[in-house]
Amino acid sequence: MEKIKVGVVGTGFIGPAHIEALRRLPNVEVTALCEVNIELATAKAAQLGIERPCTFEQLLAMEDIACVHICTPNFLHYSQSKAALLAGKHVVCEKPLAKDLHEAEELVALAKETGLVNAVHFNLRYYPLVRQMKTMREKGDLGDVYSVIGSYLQDWLFYETDYNWRLEPDKSGDSRAIADIGSHLMDIIEYITGLKTVEVMADFNTIHKTRKKPLKPVETYSGKMLQPEDYADVTITTEDHANVLLRFDNGNRGSVTVSQVSAGRKNQLKLEISGGKKTFAFNSEAPNEIWIGNRDGYNQSLMRDPSLAYPEASALMTFPGGHNEGFPDTSKQLFKEVYAAVAAGKQPENPSYPTFADGYRELLICERILDSHRSQSWVKV
């Protein structure tokens, strides 16, 4: 088997997560690792066991690298994705696809023009039971969608001393909690329900209006505490917490809450989707079961088991029932579909995986949510 050679750009939290998932695919080899300078790239490549440390320009010049994974801070996604496409590389980009709609629209057009494989890492679609709920809805098991209640809660920015580049608008954009984790939530709602969000009403809150930025590097999620003299006070303008009311194109409603200051919630996405026949409830911190509610008769709990799921969902299950699959498996399953397209050499007509067009869609929704908060009014999407 001739392996597809891949270069990964960025080694924060998500870059190594991409690398670990890619290494679980038999037809893929992570060959090159890029960082902001060759010294850091060399150190990280040695740590992660990758053959070629490089700068971004060196990576693009490597003719045998077929696909590039963009795992850098948000403000670099547009320029690096564009450069990789222009260099003839297939691209997998972290979300958000870009910092604004103009950039995202340009990337969608360029990707279409080149015909190269393009994907955005909305990996939470790839919990098998998320695919199961989508398929059940498509087959009529749910009925017409009446309402959606969703939340995405974390606590990694709970303290005023918690700090990360995502708090800085020039690197991350003018929205934080919504753009960062809320984008996953909005994507998964439309993915499962098949509905389009047509209007939003948002209210944001910044709990820590001043945060203490470390004057020395601290790894994301590390929980390390520095001394008072090691911090500088920084004014925060992006949201720690957000509530959003939703109107869908079928005339029905939903609501979501997103927070990065909910103590004890490490990374919990929850959904409750009520339809004309049943209700589905899902919790990403217990992703191997879904609750199915019935008005007449017993409620049910469906465990992740390939013998019990629809074939569309079983395709995302590697292990038998009772053998749990979780967050790392979502990226593997997404990349499995992406690299089938890379092996074929072009973007499929109707890709099963999230594309740059999906990245544009979620950026549009997040922009409208931000507009709604600013105007304190309903805004059309």
Question: Do residue 173 and residue 269 come from a single domain?
Answer: yes
Half-sphere exposure of residue 29: CA atoms within 13 angstroms, side-chain side: 11
Residues 160 and 263 in one domain: yes
Q: DSSP label at 115?
A: T
Cβ-contact 148, 273 below 8 angstroms? yes
Residues 6+ apart with CB under 8 A from 33: 7, 8, 11, 41, 44, 45, 48, 50, 52, 53, 54
Same-domain pairing of 238 and 200:
yes
Q: Is residue 193 part of a domain?
A: yes
Can you give the pLDDT at residue 259? 98
Instruction: Determine the structural domain holding residue 371 and report its residue range.
Output: 124-327+355-380
In this structure, the answer to whether residues 174 and 272 fall within a common structural domain is: yes
In angstroms, rounded to a whole number, what is the distance separating the alpha carbons of residues 223 and 199?
38
Q: Tell whether 137 and 168 lie within a shared domain.
A: yes
Please tell me whether residue 16 adopts helix, strand or coil conformation: helix
Instruction: Tell me the C-alpha distance between 333 and 347, whole Å.
Output: 17
Of the pLDDT bands very low, low, confident and very high (cuts 50, 70, 90), residue 230 is confident
3-class secondary-structure state, position 216: coil
Q: CB of 381 within 8 A of CB of 247? A: no
Q: What is the pLDDT of residue 172?
A: 87
Q: Cβ contacts of residue 63 below 8 Å, gap of 6+?
A: none
Question: Is it the case that residue 220 has pLDDT exceeding 80?
Answer: no
- The answer to whether the beta carbons of residues 127 and 302 sit under 8 Å apart is no
d(CA 353, CA 368): 24
Which of these three, 116, 136, 161, is where a domain ends? Answer: 116
Does 112 map to a domain? yes
- Residue 344 belongs to a domain: no
In tens, the pLDDT along 322-333 reads: 999 999 999 999
pLDDT at position 229 = 77
pLDDT score, position 219: 56
Mean pLDDT, the chain, rounded, equals 95
- Residue 328's H or E segment, with its range, is helix 327-344
Model confidence at 228, pLDDT cuts 50, 70, 90, reads confident
The DSSP 8-state label assigned to residue 292 in this structure reads: E
Identify the CATH number of the domain in which residue 30 sits.
Answer: 3.40.50.720
What pTM was computed for the model? Answer: 0.94
183-193 vs 128-138: helix axis angle to the nearest 10?
40
User: What sign does the dihedral 328-330-334-339 (CA atoms) show?
Assistant: positive
Within this chain, do residues 297 and 197 fall inside the same structural domain, yes or no?
yes
Pick from 320, 334, 366, 312: nearest CA to 124 = 334
